[in-house]
Structure formats: C-alpha cells, structure tokens
Structure 1
Amino acid sequence: MGEIHVESEFAPLRTVVLTQSEVAFGETMLHSRDMDFLPDPAPGRFGAGQDFRDADPVGQRAWEKERDAFRAVLERHGVEVLRPRMLTAAEKAAAGGDGYANFFVRDPFFTIGPVVVEGSLRFRHRRREVLPVRDIMRHRVMPSACTYVAVPMPEVAADDDASLGAGPFLEGGDVLVLGKTVFVGMSGLASNAAGAEWLAKLLRPQGYTVEPVRLRPNILHLDCALGLVRDGLMIVCEEALLDGIPEPLRAWDRIAVSLDEAMRLATNGLPISPGIYVADPAFATIGDALGRRGIAVEYVDYRISRSFGGAFRGSTQPLWRA
C-alpha cells in the first residue's frame, strides 16, 4: 500500500483519486450570481433537480470519456488511480432541493504533507461531496501513519442568505502546497478567512506557513488563477490576484494568461512530475510555452468538464506526491 504524503503541487505523482461524473443543481443554485464564474455553463442545459445523466445522455457519455482519457494518461505514466464510489439513492434524496455533486474531487478533501483534511464546501449542492470518498479514507488513509481530520461543520445559513453563511469554508481547489508553504485562495465563492485561519492553526505545530491569497470575485478557486508547474515556474493570471503574486513566488518564471483564459481554466492543468504536464488542447499556446522550457505536455480534450467549472487539477486529489 502506498504512502500518504504530498510534498508539493509538482512532486512526482504516485497515487491519485480521480473523480466521477455526477451532478444535479438545485433551483437556487441554477439562478444564483455565484454561477457567474462559468463562462459557458453546462448547467444551462438542464433543469433544477435533474441529473445531467438524464438531461443529456450524450453529453454524459462524452463527459465520462474525458475522464477515461485522462485516466489513461495518468496510468501510462505509472500513477495509481483510485475512484470514489457513486452517490447512493439515499444520499441523493437527502440532498433535497439543494442538488448534489460528485464531480470535482479536488475540493471535498485535500492532502498537505502527511495530513489529510476533509474540507467544508460553501455551495449547498456540494456539502456532501466527501461521502463517496469515505471508502478510500477507510481503506487507504486510516491504515496510514498520516493525520486525518475534518474542518468544522459550517454554520447553518437562512435560505435567503446569499452569503451561504459564515463557514468556516475550506476547499481543496484553493489549497496549493509548496513544501512547508501553503497558499489558500479566497474569492468569496469558496474558501474564506475562517477556513484559512483554521488550517493555519492545524498546521502551525508542524512548521507550515499558510499564505492567504485574495482573488477576484468571479474566480472560483486559487487553482483557477495560479498553477505551480515545477520549482521556479508557474502559470498565472495576475489580474485575478487582488494583491499580486504572493511574495514567495515573485522571483519565479511565469507563463501569463488573461482573465478570460483563467475563467476557462487555463491554469488548471496537472503536473504529473516536474517534467510532464497535462493540459487541454484549447490552451496549446501554454503547452508551447511549457515545451520551450523542456516540459513534455500531454493533451486531453476536457471541454465538458471545464463547462462545469473545473479541469485536470479539479478532477483529481493526490494522496502521494513525493
């Protein structure tokens, strides 16, 4: 059985959880301004409470094929790929009018060094998204020498509270690991200050520093604005970072992307190792820039996944990168 440890965003990937493709949106979410981060949203193609599988069977099959193609690339490079189970009928029913999700495993849990954290998701339809991962926690995380904890349950918000409450909220898409430095994005759509403060308290005794990164309000997660490719190289949308590039990264070489490209998930590729990177062919210019820097690029068409607001990093959560 492999270890549980994530040293950085680009340390060689050995074991990863790859997401499933299940989602249904509640009425409130479909018409919320919180969905404005999607430039060409798939949710417009189906109604409240309707599973995408039922609304668009052809699109569903194509979506699943995207994930299968991505899996094939990972396995070809020797990565062990684990999958969450599917949602049960009881879990879907328990979601009621909020909807449900099992489609971007990056967010409901994350790994920092030898610490596995179950997150606390802001959108109501995603608050049970960790449940399909619990079998993996039981069989892979629990037997390991790692620490396994969960963010406190978020406060209950009134139905008409557009903020969705005080949290704490902490989502894996906002958490980027660089050795003992952890960056946490905060846009108002996902992780918030209460979540970042909780994480800092958790990790401080182990020598970690948590660096909050403020984002524009139409950027869902930090990994939609910043990608760490290898030591000293990043893909970044500076316009999305309200306080500019975080100080520990300011001397790094950078591949710049526009705000429009960032909102289409240009920074959300996935390093398999410091020399291999997975990207969408829609961003071939980024691939070319990586190639000029000696990095091999694997292309997978991921347009349907991107229409739901996530790409390669969002579809995966590493358990072992070292």
Structure 2
Amino acid sequence: MKNVIVVLCALVAFGSFPAFARATNAGEPSVYVDYEYGDLKEVIVGLPYGMSPSLEAKWFADALKVLPKDEADYARKTAGMLWTEMINPETGKSETQMLEEENQAFIGILQSLGVKVYRPTEITVDFIKEHYGADVLLNGFSQDFPRDNMAVIGSNVIEFNLRTPIRKVDISGFRNILSEKCSNSSVKWFSMPHTELLKPARADTPFLEGGDVIVLGKTVLVGNTLNPSVGSNEAGYQWLKNILGDQYKVKRVRLVESVLHLDCVLSVPRRGLAIICEEAFVDGLPEELKDWDLIRVRLKDVKRLAVNGVPVNSRNYILSYNRHNDNRYIQAELEKRGIRVHRVFFGTHNGQGGSLRCATQSLKRKVKMTKAHESQRK
C-alpha cells in the first residue's frame, strides 16, 4: 500500500507559531504506536496552563460527576479562574506552579528511561480571543492533559472531536510538534469532523477522546461512559471503526457514569497483564482480557486515578500517588510480577481529574516482536 499523508484538519496551523524543522527520515514512521505497552520512545507531556470553566457553562454540572466530592467542590469554588491565580493556601503556590513541579518530576523519570519528551506551545487567553473568540472562555481551557485531543493508531495520527468543551482548544498547542512529526511520508494525519465550539451538538454527533482509546495490536478498545457530558460516544466509536476499516478490530466498551475514560479503569503494563476495575464495565470484561492476569482495583480507588499509569516498557511502569491514595497496593502487585515501579506524586493533576496517562500523548511505541505477538497479528 502506498504511503501517503492525509491532512484533513479542522484547525490549520496558526502563523503566530514558529515552524519546526521538518523530519526527513523516510525509513521507519516518525509517529507509530502498535501496543499500549510497547516500548515508549517519544511522548508529549502537557503544560501547567489553563482556566477553570465558568459556572455558567451548561455542561459543567454533569462533568463534575466524575470527580470525588472534595474535588468537585473545589472546581465550583475556583470556577472561571486562571490557574496562575489559583493559590493553594497550604503551599502558597499557584495551581500552575504545582502542576509544573509534578510534570518535571515525571519528565525526569521518563528521560532517565531513555524517552524523548516534547512539550506543547503555551496557549494564552489573548490567543484564544484572537483565534476562537472571547465567548469560548466560558468553557475554560486546559493544557495539562494532552491525551484526549488525538490518538496514534499504527502510523495514523487522528485528531479527535472532543465532547468535553474545556479541552477543545488544546490542539492548537500541538501544531509545531505535529507539523514536524507528520511530514514523514509514512504518516497519515487527519481529523474527525468538528462541531461548533459553543452550539450544543446533535445526539448523533461523533465524539472521541484519547483517554478512551487503547491500542492492542490490531484490536482497538474504545470506552464509552454513560455520562452525557464527557468522554466518547457510540457515534464516535462507529466513526473510528469505519475510518480504520478492515485493518483493525474496533470494539466498544461501555463504562458506568462515574467513570470518565477507559484509561481510568484499565492499564496494560505488558502483554497478558492488566490493572483493571471490573465493576466499571457495564457489559463485563472485554473478551480480549478474559484470560489475562488481572490486578483488580475498586471503583472508589478509580475516583482517585489509581489505574491511570504509564508503562514505559515491559520492565518499567510509572505510577502516580496522592494524599488520598498511596497506590502501594498496585505497586506491590506489579513488583510481584517483576516490574520496576517508578512513583510520582501527582496530586494536583489528580485534583484536575486526570493522571499520568492523561498527561501524556505517546508518539512512538513499539513492542519487540515475539512469537505470541506474531500469531496475534495474523
């Protein structure tokens, strides 16, 4: 099959961002993910900038259902505030400062394990006013969780149409990185149909968010929460199934209303091993996982983002913890299985509703082929 670049982006590269040097290596794809647990080589880590949604945002009340009560109360209290202005009374630091301290600790571990880290371009209030319009600020914006704006499936880079309004402008911060990485002729870069930023979407509008997409070779799991204001929906799942065609088996995974994304209840540290919250799956475990070794987690721990870690390779796993959950249980279970666990305090990010996987977007992941993987591909 001939390699082509398909660029069907709803948003164009803005002239205010300087261009990166173009990648010229036409050998292996410059962007590629074959398995959730493939060896991680390149990744985007989010930025600490954002603005909380206004209480006037109609979707906000439903979205808060995925947060613990204390975090939902704090979100209401800080509604409409820039994160640089949200000062923590205990630390005296802003939300932005605390987020970046956590990012730097995380990045340090990634780099120590040989992972190349990219950061998005900062988005400002003035930039949003100029390119999207001031009314969009009602929804707020956030750059801490780059996972949801897109997914890499094989050498396909797919920009998503997000249902969560606070995340809809984040993609502008990716333009430099994607322009560089997707110039390689082996990469296909395209976008879902996008909806208006302020107009309520029709019920049949396709929505996808990267936290719901987990790639396991030629099988792609797509989470669908029952929460009507966040996450991916059935139309989004169907769109992805159609666009990927016969090359991939795309499976819908329904989740209970209190769960935001699939990666909140499922993590895959290596082949045949999953960290999972079974009670979050409306229709039971996906068939692909039923014979696996399972580390089971309770739904109450899911609320504190216990499951949302990052496998770097089959031997190393990065795990978050916070003041509510030290995550020692998952750490011990992984270590029993010969996996080295790297711990990162991520309490500020957790309070925003996400964790380590949410804070990353994998650009290069590839497993070292075994006979088991070869048979799975056939």
Give 1:170's aligned residue.
208
Partner secondary structure for residue 20 of structure 1: coil
Inter-partner Cα distance in structure 2 for 1:45 and 1:242: 29
Is the aligned partner of 1:242 residue 2:271? no
Contact 1:4 1:144 (C-alpha < 8 Å) held by counterparts: no
- Out of 50, 57, 61, which is 1:32 matched to? 61
Is the aligned partner of 1:252 residue 2:288? no
Partner secondary structure for residue 198 of structure 1: helix
Is the aligned partner of 1:311 residue 2:338? no
Task: State the 1:263 CA deviation.
Answer: 1.4
Q: How does 1:26-175 map to 2 (within 5 A)?
A: 26-29=54-57, 32-39=61-68, 40-41=70-71, 43-44=74-75, 46-56=77-87, 57-93=93-129, 94=133, 95-154=136-195, 166-175=204-213
Partner secondary structure for residue 253 of structure 2: strand
Counterpart of 1:52, as a letter, is W
Task: State the 1:265 CA deviation.
Answer: 0.9
Partner secondary structure for residue 285 of structure 2: coil
Inter-partner Cα distance in structure 2 for 1:109 and 1:275: 27
CA RMSD, 1 decimal? 1.9
Aligned length: 318
Task: State the 1:101 CA deviation.
Answer: 1.6
Contact 1:155 1:165 (C-alpha < 8 Å) held by counterparts: no
Task: State the 1:61 CA deviation.
Answer: 1.2
- Out of 248, 251, 271, which is 1:208 matched to? 248
Pick closer, same or farther for the CA change 1:178–1:224 going to 2, 3 Å. Answer: same
Counterpart of 2:239, as a letter, is W
Contact 1:185 1:213 (C-alpha < 8 Å) held by counterparts: yes
Contact 2:55 2:79 (C-alpha < 8 Å) held by counterparts: yes
Pick closer, same or farther for the CA change 1:31–1:209 going to 2, 3 Å. Answer: closer
Taking structure 1 as the reference length, the TM-score comes to 0.93
Give 1:8's aligned residue.
35
Q: Can you list the C-alpha shifts for 1:129-154, whole angstroms capped at 9, x where unaligned? A: 11101111111122351111111113
Give 2:337's aligned residue.
293
Pick closer, same or farther for the CA change 1:46–1:145 going to 2, 3 Å. Answer: farther
Task: State the 1:38 CA deviation.
Answer: 1.1
Pick closer, same or farther for the CA change 1:252–1:54 going to 2, 3 Å. Answer: same
Pick closer, same or farther for the CA change 1:165–1:50 going to 2, 3 Å. Answer: farther
Give 2:44's aligned residue.
17
Q: Can you list the C-alpha shifts for 1:71-130, whole angstroms capped at 9, x where unaligned? A: 000000000000001003333333232211212000001101110110111122211111
Inter-partner Cα distance in structure 2 for 1:145 and 1:87: 29
Q: Can you list the C-alpha shifts for 1:19-77, whole angstroms capped at 9, x where unaligned? A: 11122112234851321211142753753321111122433312210010000000000
Inter-partner Cα distance in structure 1 for 2:127 and 2:240: 28
Is the aligned partner of 1:268 residue 2:308? yes
Question: Aligned residues: percent identity?
Answer: 35
Partner secondary structure for residue 148 of structure 1: strand
Inter-partner Cα distance in structure 1 for 2:197 and 2:116: 38
Task: State the 1:165 CA deviation.
Answer: 5.2
Pick closer, same or farther for the CA change 1:84–1:156 going to 2, 3 Å. Answer: closer
Partner secondary structure for residue 106 of structure 1: helix
Larger mean CA deviation between 140-149 and 221-230 belongs to 140-149
Task: State the 1:4 CA deviation.
Answer: 1.0
Contact 2:165 2:197 (C-alpha < 8 Å) held by counterparts: no
Inter-partner Cα distance in structure 1 for 2:185 and 2:109: 27
- Larger of the two Rg values belongs to structure: 2
Give 1:226's aligned residue.
266
Structure 2: gaps (5+ residues): 1-22, 24-28, 88-92, 367-378
Pick closer, same or farther for the CA change 1:85–1:306 going to 2, 3 Å. Answer: same
Inter-partner Cα distance in structure 1 for 2:219 and 2:299: 25
Taking structure 2 as the reference length, the TM-score comes to 0.80
Contact 2:45 2:361 (C-alpha < 8 Å) held by counterparts: yes
Inter-partner Cα distance in structure 1 for 2:278 and 2:255: 10
Contact 1:46 1:55 (C-alpha < 8 Å) held by counterparts: no
